[in-house]
Amino acid sequence: MPADIDEKTDRYERLLTEALDAAEVAPPAETPMGEAAAECLEMAESYLKDGRHFRDDDDQVNALAAFSYGHAWLDAGARVGLFDVPTDGHLFTV
């Protein structure tokens, strides 16, 4: 049976929130890579905020999309070395 949109949206919001808590910027902040990491974090945080706004407006489809995009920013950043992240578990694909 396919996942219910409400359940899936809840799951992706939790995933993004946990991933934001777990991701630590790897390169020094004053370097170009450190600046790129800060931008990725800002995008992920913005998508979390947007997703919560969409959810408050009862727009589950856009909320789910926002939470997914936010996590993608973190996951991609982790994959290219912008973040130190846990390598076990469900938060990242690295």
Question: What pTM does this model have?
Answer: 0.91
Band the pLDDT of 2: cuts 50, 70, 90.
low
Contact 94, 40 (CB under 8 A): no
Q: Report pLDDT digits (tens) over 13-25.
A: 999 999 999 999 9
Q: Report pLDDT digits (tens) over 34-79.
A: 999 999 999 999 999 999 999 999 999 999 999 999 999 999 999 9
Torsion angles phi and psi, residue 65, rounded to 5? -60, -45
Residue 74: domain span: 29-94
Which contiguous run of DSSP H or E holds residue 36? Answer: helix 32-56
Asked if residue 42 belongs to a domain, the reply is yes
Asked if residue 13 belongs to a domain, the reply is no
Asked if residue 80 belongs to a domain, the reply is yes
Domain tally for the chain?
Answer: 1
Count the residues in the chain: 94
Asked if residue 71 belongs to a domain, the reply is yes
What was the pLDDT predicted at 18? 96
Provide mean pLDDT across the span 6-32. 96
Asked if residue 38 belongs to a domain, the reply is yes
Asked if residue 14 belongs to a domain, the reply is no
